Amino acid sequence: MLLANRVAIVTGGAKGIGRGIALKFAEEGCDIVVNALHIEGARKVADEVRALGRESLAIGADVSNSAEVNDMVDQTIKKFGKIDILVNNAGGITGAKEGAIEDTTEEDWDRIVGINLKGQFLCCRAVVPHMRKNKYGKIINVSSMGAIHPPAPIVHYHSAKGGVLSLTSNLAFELAPFNITVNAILPGPVRSEFFNEMLKDMSEKEGEAFFTMLDKRVPMQRMGMPEEIAGVALFLASELSSYVTGESINAGGGLPLTPRDDVGTG
């Protein structure tokens, strides 16, 4: 097993990419702390982890709140005695208005940047002392393809995800002497609960048309699945990537390359 006897915190682990990563890591021998804003979702995934034969702890915490993040890390150390892996996956744009910069409120900016960038900073700050003490750690920050190739004007979200890339390179430089690697994943469109907010006012037929449109934007002509992003995270969390740090890996089916217009013509 690639992660035997490791302990990982996965933020935003109740659904989508986070759930996929938590279960993939558990299959490879890792004990999992499942974080989510709402404890009920975290508990469901923690139960799935236990069904795979691994230990799990569900913690409801807002990653943009330093006190809640520090308590999550304290609970992890109390139960497992160490933190080997941190996956900063929590994020999203729920409740935020898309559109031009002049239509972006200061309140939305602060909230979205808080969830998607400040939260990763707070989680890193809380776990690094424990990793440095053990001279071992794997930090995986989930950014977005939109950080470098925005598909729509969502300035607060894409700016925050761009900040994640800078956080990643800075921490990789700082922590390399302590055998702590820091890398980022930039998912392209992934078929998951991330799109629930956009789909809530669509019919089932309109929703499928929306996903078909996203499929066609990808060079591989399909959206990704959470378990495919989890496979990239597994590489970065395991010793397969022992000499890799400060990297940002695109996981978008070929994006940001432009889809071919001759598909199927032979």
- Condensed to tens digits (0 to 9), the pLDDT of residues 35-83 reads 999 999 999 999 999 999 999 999 999 999 999 999 999 999 999 999 9
| Half-sphere exposure (Cβ direction) of 234: Cα atoms closer than 13 Å | 22
- Condensed to tens digits (0 to 9), the pLDDT of residues 125-147 reads 999 999 999 999 999 999 999 99
Catalytic residue, chosen from 80, 121, 157, 194, is: 157
Domain boundary assignment for the chain: 7-188+224-250
Catalytic annotation present for 136? no
Tell me whether residue 81 is exposed, middle or buried, using C-beta atoms within 10 angstroms of its C-beta: 0 to 12, 13 to 18, 19 or more: exposed
Cβ neighbours, 10 Å, residue 95: 9
- pLDDT at residue 266 above 60? no
Instruction: Give the Cα-Cα-Cα angle 36, 154, 37 (nearest 5 degrees).
Output: 10
Could you tell me how many residues make up the chain?
Answer: 266
Q: Which CATH number describes the domain made up of 7-188+224-250?
A: 3.40.50.720
